[in-house]
Amino acid sequence: MASINKVTLLGNLGRDPETKTFENGGTVCTFSLATTESYFDREKNQRVDLPTEWHNIRIGRAGLAKVAQQYLRKGSQVYVEGSIRSREYQDKDGITRRFYEINVTDMVLLGGKPNGEQIPPAVTSTAEVPPIHMGADDDDLPF
């Protein structure tokens, strides 16, 4: 049986990104992301916000981590795609705890930098991939 583990989130950073660099050259960037859903209550004629959900975000790709560290700040809006991962650790009392995080594979920065400076357009994980151009002879779609 096939399965899929895909997460798509659009939210605001709850804190500045924290970056760790390891001896082997790897880099990890982490931050919290807040998402809030809402709906319109027709009886009360007003918008109702559901409780805010907080997500632990982890970026393990060096290029994306560098972009996040450089451009994201608390309150920044960002769109991320990735997968859910669970990790376990033992607390100070020896109790095993589990927490969940979003392992980011794609990211799009939205809005400007907090100081008003502009973000380069379309900064995503696919920025290094050259665009695919279809020529006139490549249009062999069946519809």
Block residue for tokens 């451009």: 71
User: Which residues 6+ apart lie within 8 Å of 50 measured at CB?
Assistant: 36, 37, 38, 39
Residues of the chain predicted below pLDDT 50: 122-143
The predicted structure's pLDDT at residue 132: 39
Q: Where are the domains of the chain?
A: 7-38+46-128
pLDDT of residue 103: 96
Q: Does domain 7-38+46-128 have CATH number 2.40.50.140?
A: yes
What pLDDT shows up at residue 99? 93
The pLDDT value recorded for residue 11 is 95
**pLDDT for residue 25:** 83
Q: What is the pLDDT of residue 10?
A: 95
